Amino acid sequence: MIDQNNHRCRYNESVLKEPIIFIGPGRSGSTIVSEFVFVHEHLAWLTQYHEWFPNRQIFNHFRNVFDNRLWQVHGERSQLNKTKLLNELIPRPAEAYPFWEYLTGHHRDFSRDFMLNQRATPDEKRFIRQQIAKIVVAQGRQRFAMKITGPGRIAYLKSLFPDAQFINVVRSAHETITSMINVPFWQQQGMKNLWWTGAYDENEIAAFMLRKSDPYWVTAMQLAKVLETTQQETEEECVPALTIAYEDFIENAENVVNNIMQFTGLPECKNVDDKLLLCQVVNRNKHKQRPCHAQKKILNTLFNDEFLGGLCDGR
């Protein structure tokens, strides 16, 4: 029995080579960008079933009912196109935080902690890698891909996947902030609290308490911390990382997707080509208002020069 388990672990390791991890602030466009890559025939990923049934591995096989060698039916987000009949039941990529909470256990808060300087224990790493490997094998794919938003959690994810490749999707700070403010979840939670924890010092918390009635400032403060810590972790952990500007994706989706595939070593794939051909990428913020004077002041205060370039200040 021990030999069988060891053989299974060695076999599973082969499907965990160079996983692809999309990161980026919420409302940065990472969902749309990543889903053009996730249709690649080599990639396995978490689905909405991992959100609904986080400890039920049997649902990993459900993807093959819709996506196999004979036919491909992909679930889609409404950001891209009109969705299909029964779209909610067709497996589609999901961040699946309930699944990550199941994997990491009660001693970590994967959903809301910045997880700076946190690393998986040997037992934790072994368990999580085995669970992820089961997903890849059950879906009949060759590599694992995932997406999370908010803090990058790079140190922790690297401790699980030492050869992971990160795709960081970023967007104009003003557009990201205004988009977040219009989301009901953020209105109820993120604009009233520091939604992610574990990265703010006493001065930042005091500043939040003084200005917590200003939704733009509260949102900008949290976005700035996500960008800052992601950059910091990327440099400190020396991970392979490709930064994608959502504005560039809107301008030329095919070029950006091809850059991602080249960076990650993914071969050409008809599924990706078809999605690029069929899904029209639209700039939904084309006529959005530019930041007012007060908002520009906030942006200049909270974001350093790198994030205040044309990419982040809406110029």
Q: Are 183 and 176 in contact (CB under 8 A)?
A: no
* pLDDT band (50, 70, 90) for residue 307: low
With 70 as the cut, is the pLDDT of residue 12 above it?
yes
Residue with the bigger pLDDT between 265 and 310: it is: 265
Q: Over range 217-235, report the average pLDDT.
A: 96
* pLDDT band (50, 70, 90) for residue 42: very high
Q: Over range 208-225, report the average pLDDT.
A: 96
pLDDT digits (tens, 9 = 90+) for 95-110: 999 999 999 998 899 9
Please identify, in words, the CATH class of the domain defined by 2-172+239-289: alpha beta
pTM score: 0.89
In angstroms, rounded to a whole number, what is the distance separating the alpha carbons of residues 167 and 183? 24
Domain boundaries, the chain: 2-172+239-289
Q: Over range 27-53, report the average pLDDT.
A: 95
In angstroms, rounded to a whole number, what is the distance separating the alpha carbons of residues 103 and 129? 10
* pLDDT band (50, 70, 90) for residue 315: very low
Mention every residue, 6+ apart, whose C-beta is less than 8 A from residue 6. Answer: none
- What is the spatial order of strands in the sheet that 143-147 belongs to? 43-44, 143-147, 20-23, 165-170, 241-245
In angstroms, rounded to a whole number, what is the distance separating the alpha carbons of residues 210 and 129? 43
In angstroms, rounded to a whole number, what is the distance separating the alpha carbons of residues 215 and 190? 9
In angstroms, rounded to a whole number, what is the distance separating the alpha carbons of residues 274 and 41? 12
From 260, 256, 259, 253, select the one nearest 278 (Cα to Cα): 253
Q: Are 59 and 53 in contact (CB under 8 A)?
A: yes
Token pair for residue 306? 């790198």
In angstroms, rounded to a whole number, what is the distance separating the alpha carbons of residues 284 and 187? 20
pLDDT digits (tens, 9 = 90+) for 146-194: 999 999 999 999 999 999 999 999 999 999 999 999 999 999 999 989 9
